[in-house]
Structure 1
Amino acid sequence: MATLFTKIIDGDIPGRFVWADDVVVAFTTIAPITDGHTLVVPRAEVVQLTDADDDLLAHLTRVAKVIGRAQQTAWDAPRAALLVAGFEVPHLHMHVLPAWDEASLSFRNARTDVPAAELDAAAERVRQALRDAGHATNVPASIGSPDL
């Protein structure tokens, strides 16, 4: 059975895509800890970090780094944080988010009441920062599609 993330990647469930390539996609979460909170997800259904082969893990990390730099620029954040938990969806994903301190890096701080317009604006802010950083070829043509 397809995971929630596969359904988002396949377009069965809406997503706010900021990155796409042949191996991974990235989309902003509907429950952000900070504005711009993005999930980097392999297209293949890999359950967890320790199941990923080294090449996939390296690629996920490279994309997370690029997105983290874009977030730092877009929000003038001193750090980009990377969290890997994976308990909520059995499909490997990396949480990348602009960060100002360690205390704010708790899933207890996730906001589930953010209006759709604000989620769209945050996703577009990440997308623009990626374009500005020279990654336009990996920014999907539409916020709602993982297609380039």
Structure 2
Amino acid sequence: MSTIFSKIVSGEAPAYKVAESNDYLAFLDVRPLAHGHVLVIPKKETDYIFDIHDDEYMGMWVFAKIVGQGIKKVFPCRKVGIAVVGLEVAHTHIHLIPLNNVDDMNFGRPKLELTDDELTTIAESIREAISEVTHSANS
């Protein structure tokens, strides 16, 4: 079975990528709850987060932390919320969502409809912020 996320990993489907490593990928949710809503996935397709190997699980959270730091630099918020739902796409993924109140993470509310230009600009901004975060961490 090949999910839309696996197609993004292979390049068969487009995505607004914000970060990538050998094992993980972070890209914008195209139907976000908030500006800066990012999905973090392992490149290896596994449906359920608790079925992935421990080292892959821990690596994904470290990767998500770096992405979250970049999101927070671009979208000032009280916190970057984390959700693992996994019901719509059978490929493990973590939602990272800028939060100022609890309702910002209500998946039942209407999603934003952003233009290609808006999504491109947001992705570029987060990529730049992540680059700054990782550069300062390595200095």
TM-score, structure 2 normalization: 0.91
Alignment correspondent of 1:75: 75
- Structure 2 residue 4 is the aligned partner of structure 1 residue 17: no
Distance 2:133 2:112 in 1: 30
Alignment correspondent of 1:84: 84
Q: Which runs of 4+ in 1 moved over 4 A?
A: none
Gaps of 5+ in 2: none
Distance 1:46 1:20, change over 3 A: same
TM-score, structure 1 normalization: 0.86
CA positional deviation for 1:113:
2.0
CA positional deviation for 1:112:
4.8
Identity of aligned residues (%): 29
Q: Name the SS for the 1:97 alignment partner.
A: strand
After superposition, give the CA deviation of every residue in 1:29-75 in whole Å (9 maximum; x if it has no partner): 10111111111111111111121111111111111111111111111
CA RMSD of aligned residues (A): 1.5
Distance 1:41 1:19 in 2: 11
Alignment correspondent of 1:58: 58
User: Which structure ranks higher in relative contact order (CA pairs < 8 Å, sequence separation ≥ 6)?
Assistant: 1
After superposition, give the CA deviation of every residue in 1:73-131 in whole Å (9 maximum; x if it has no partner): 11111201111001000000001121111111011235252111111111111111111
Alignment correspondent of 2:104: 104
Distance 1:5 1:48 in 2: 14
Distance 1:110 1:119 in 2: 17
The one-letter amino acid paired with 1:126 is: I
Preserved CA contact (<8 Å) 2:66 2:134: no
Gaps of 5+ in 1: 136-148
